[in-house]
Amino acid sequence: MLYYLNQEDGEIEIGELADEVAAWENDTDVDDLTSQQRKRVYVSLYQTHVPKMEDAGIIEYDSDRGVVALADQADDISAYLSREEDGRPWQRYYLGLAAVSALFYLAVEFGVGALAALGEFTAGLLIIVAFAAMAIVHLIDTQRGGGEISTELIDNRQR
């Protein structure tokens, strides 16, 4: 629900929101949903999720018009709602570093070129340092992009 609202600008009818969530939950297109699938998600959103998110100050719900929108408070969680395309694909960076590290270690092990002078211990240490550096950059990037969840959200979540 929050992800879809984060992707849309402005208000969304609760029925449209329920359709999108139902399609994701059932791994199908909105046009292929059954009335049972639509109803189950609609009722869940209407009776449970929308009121809780409204109480937490994350969304605004106008029951007269049947529309939902993200509240200003939702900015605190927007970093957690982005897709990989919106941010850095860190899992791919780590996978790439693992592949390069494996090749580097094999080159040291088999004495390829100038790497023959390095020992296994030094190679392992360099790999550990590379992963530590990547983790530090990842942490800094996450903190700059995401920030902390506000204490108001944490307090509301613990009710």
- Please check the confidence at residue 133 and state whether its pLDDT lies above 90: yes
- Do 67 and 135 belong to one domain? no
Does the global pTM surpass 0.95? no
Are the C-beta atoms of 37 and 31 separated by less than 8 Å? no
User: Rounded CA gap, 123 and 129, in Å?
Assistant: 10
Average pLDDT over residues 39-50: 94
Q: Is residue 102 part of a domain?
A: yes
- Do 60 and 110 belong to one domain? no
User: Rounded CA gap, 112 and 40, in Å?
Assistant: 62
Q: Is residue 153 part of a domain?
A: no
pLDDT at 80: 63
pLDDT at 84: 45
- Do 92 and 112 belong to one domain? yes
- Do 22 and 34 belong to one domain? yes
Q: Is residue 155 part of a domain?
A: no
DSSP codes, the chain: -HHHHHHS-S-EEHHHHHHHHHHHHTTS-GGG--HHHHHHHHHHIIIIIHHHHHHTTSEEEETTTTEEEE-GGGGGGGGGG--GGGS--HHHHHHHHHHHHHHHHHHHHTT-GGGGGS-HHHHHHHHHHHHHHHHHHHHHHHHHHH-PPPHHHHHHHT-
- Do 30 and 69 belong to one domain? yes
Count of all residues that appear for the chain in the document: 159
Q: What percent of the chain has pLDDT over 90?
A: 63
- Do 116 and 49 belong to one domain? no
Q: Is residue 132 part of a domain?
A: yes
- Do 76 and 100 belong to one domain? no
Q: Using one digit for the tens of pLDDT, what is the confidence trace for 15-29?
A: 999 999 999 999 999
Which domain range does residue 70 map to? 2-81
